[in-house]
Amino acid sequence: MSDEVRLDLDEVHRLATGALRAHGASAEQARAIADNIRRAERDGAKSHGLFRIPFYVRTIVKGRVDVKAVPVVRDLAPAVVQVDSCRGFAPLALEVGADPLTEKASAQGIAAQAILNTFHIGALWPEVERMAERGLVAFAFTSSICFMAPAGGTKPLYGTNPMAFAWPRDGQPPLVFDQSSSVSARGEIMIHKRDGRALPEGWAIDSDGNATTDPDAALAGAQLPFGGYKGSSIALMVELLAGALIGEVFGFEEYARDPDDSVGGLGGHFMIAIDPLRCVAHGDRGAQLAHAEKLFARILELEGTRLPSQRRYSARTRTPTEGVTIPKSLHDTLLGYARG
Amino acid sequence: MSDEVRLDLDEVHRLATGALRAHGASAEQARAIADNIRRAERDGAKSHGLFRIPFYVRTIVKGRVDVKAVPVVRDLAPAVVQVDSCRGFAPLALEVGADPLTEKASAQGIAAQAILNTFHIGALWPEVERMAERGLVAFAFTSSICFMAPAGGTKPLYGTNPMAFAWPRDGQPPLVFDQSSSVSARGEIMIHKRDGRALPEGWAIDSDGNATTDPDAALAGAQLPFGGYKGSSIALMVELLAGALIGEVFGFEEYARDPDDSVGGLGGHFMIAIDPLRCVAHGDRGAQLAHAEKLFARILELEGTRLPSQRRYSARTRTPTEGVTIPKSLHDTLLGYARG
């Protein structure tokens, strides 16, 4: 099709890097982001692939992010590491924090990582997957701009606050889920708006607090948590972990600082990593992972069920040889960025 | 009313203790359970109050639980403590593990507790509240008998797997939520059955995997996760944490061992505790907690919202002076237990 461009994964990386470098990003910041963009395209996670580069660029152009930031690691406790992202994007801070988090989890059994002053506009699955590839169980939590109402509420207060979890597997990629606390991603509402389609019931309320299926009314109103008050509790937990616990802002505070932000604000991020070997008296990684495989096999035996991340891993087997496609208009935009 | 009996909270404790002691429970096992029963009645959490004693008694009568068990604490890692409940009930094991978990969290910044071989048929909020009263942020996870289908599935595989979270507050009880991974508690379905009422849509499927609002069909079929695949992911995470991670069984494995179990089987339990003071460079507990209060104030300002656990704490202010009521039939049953 003439309106699509086919790229191999190295080209994806080069396009991302070029766009970011042309906007002043340091080699390290650009590479860390481009690595994540390539991971997303590799896995068919298009909304976090090259499609996301204009979000990064807009955030840079606004001038609040430091695209040359060098993250600073501080040892806070035997089992806690802090990474000050210094107003840079999250991927480099997460990369720099991965080794200390791994070492602490292995030495102490469980460890936490607090990331400060970061712009996190990517998915969480790459970071928990990285820890699980090192044999650890991992959680990640990040708050975001307040677009979601608490259950029962009529105004936005929480971010769509995602949490992610990963479990290591032998000989294959980890089991991973990465899910927002809202029923739908905000991008899904934007896509409905673009396509002139009504939203499914239960996604959002309008600015008067009434249920709506109109995308414009939803974007002006508030998104709703998944599963009612239970999803709302998860969102509250994420606000506390990525906010007050680590000395960072809540979503509504960042919004007060920058009410125009529609991308992803400056804030905190929290991770936990656990070494399974240290959670039993005579750790046998093989046996623990083999045990988990029995549960996964049961899930796959059931009609209609699948493992979270299965779709991504299925794409991952194809894209290294088949490449990926992006709209020609996006390709033109990215080439334009790189020309500066 | 003649069909209800009013009790003060000490009488609640004595009734619970008497029933358990008459069934062979050691003084310590009985006291730890009775402490939790009193907490539940104090907070108006009737389903985990004296109403729950017959569940404990039935579990004892079945003969699988060791009602004189003395939990054994093992240090697994600087930040991980294991408590072998030795086939006893969970409350005493949780109590015995609370000090080592607190010490480890304070020393290392974050710590985990793995409880093995336990019958956990209580709520999770008392245990996370205890940790938060000590100034820690706490999580608890426990798996249970497999009554719930994974999202999209037609047969039960996961337990209704609750998770709980607590955040400390100055001068008032912690913020706590404790929620199952299923849309409804199993007990709620039983109450609908008792009252001859249809279930709300979305709670359950029948044994053929079709949506049902018939309580009998639901109990023979499977409960559904809250929020679809997102609640299902939470349930899967709980299975892994309270199961394979700590060397314990999954809900479906315990069910295979004891398919008659309709109460709560023998299995594992997992907790995480975090010291907020160790999660910032210059810990100031007062400032961190004061920051969280800003979020809580915002939640309470919104129309229609409340904090999780608010209803329990409201009951807590009344019951020490007003006492509580239980059905006369339950009171008779409990007195009958105590007479042996």
pLDDT of residue B190: 87
3-state secondary structure labels for all residues of chain A = CCCEEEECHHHHHHHHHHHHHHCCCCHHHHHHHHHHHHHHHHCCCHHHCHHHHHHHHHHHHHCCCCCCCCCEEEEEECCEEEEEEEEEEHHHHHHHHHHHHHHHHHHHCEEEEEEEEEECCCCCHHHHHHHHHCCCEEEEEECCCCCECCCCCCCCCECCCCEEEEECCCCCCCEEEEECCECCCHHHHHHHHHHCCCCCCCCEECCCCCEECCHHHHHHCEECECCCHHHHHHHHHHHHHHCHHHCCCCHHHHHHHCCCCCCCCEEEEEEEEECHHHHCCCCCHHHHHHHHHHHHHHHHHCCCCCCCCHHHHHHHHHHHHHCEEEEHHHHHHHHHHHHC
Give me the catalytic one of A48, A120, A269, A331: A48
Residue of higher predicted confidence among B259 and A308: A308
pLDDT of residue B283: 81
| Fold classified for A72-182+225-279 | Ribosomal Protein S8; Chain: A, domain 1 (3.30.1370)
pLDDT of residue A294: 97
Give me the catalytic one of A47, A103, A201, A293: A47
Q: How far apart are the first and last CA of chain A?
A: 28
Annotation marks residue A269 as catalytic: no
Q: Note the pLDDT tens digit of each residue in B261-285.
A: 666 789 999 999 999 999 999 888 9
Q: Note the pLDDT tens digit of each residue in A123-140.
A: 999 999 999 999 999 999
Nearest to A184 by CA among A196, A202, A207, A205: A202
Q: Note the pLDDT tens digit of each residue in A281-296.
A: 988 899 999 999 999 9
Put simply, the answer to whether A278 touches B114 (Cβ < 8 Å) is: no
Is the pLDDT at B244 greater than 60, yes or no?
A: yes
**Contacts of residue A230 in chain B, CB cutoff 8 Å?**
179, 226-227, 231
- Pair of tokens at residue B340: 């042996």
Say yes or no: B155 contacts chain A, CB-CB below 8 A.
yes
Q: Taking a C-beta distance cutoff of 8 angstroms, is the pair B128, B144 a contact?
A: no
Say yes or no: B311 contacts chain A, CB-CB below 8 A.
no
For B150, nearest residue in chain A (alpha carbons): A305
For A253, nearest residue in chain B (alpha carbons): B295
Say yes or no: A241 contacts chain B, CB-CB below 8 A.
yes
**CATH class for the region spanning B4-65+309-339:** mainly alpha
Annotation marks residue A13 as catalytic: no
Q: Which pLDDT band holds residue A2 (cuts at 50, 70, 90)?
A: low
Instruction: Calculate the average pLDDT of chain B.
Output: 95
pLDDT of residue B72: 98
Count CB-CB contacts under 10 A for residue A124.
28
Say yes or no: A185 contacts chain B, CB-CB below 8 A.
no
Say yes or no: A61 contacts chain B, CB-CB below 8 A.
no
Put simply, the answer to whether A150 touches B305 (Cβ < 8 Å) is: yes
Q: What does the pLDDT average to over A36-59? A: 94
Q: Using CA atoms, how far apart are residues B287 and B284, in angstroms rounded to an integer?
A: 5
Strand-pair category, A222-223 with A80-89: unpaired
Annotation marks residue B188 as catalytic: yes
| Fold classified for A4-64+321-339 | Hypothetical Oxidoreductase Yiak; Chain: A, domain 1 (1.10.1530)
Q: What is the ipTM of this complex?
A: 0.97
Hey, where are the domains in chain A?
Answer: 4-64+321-339, 72-182+225-279
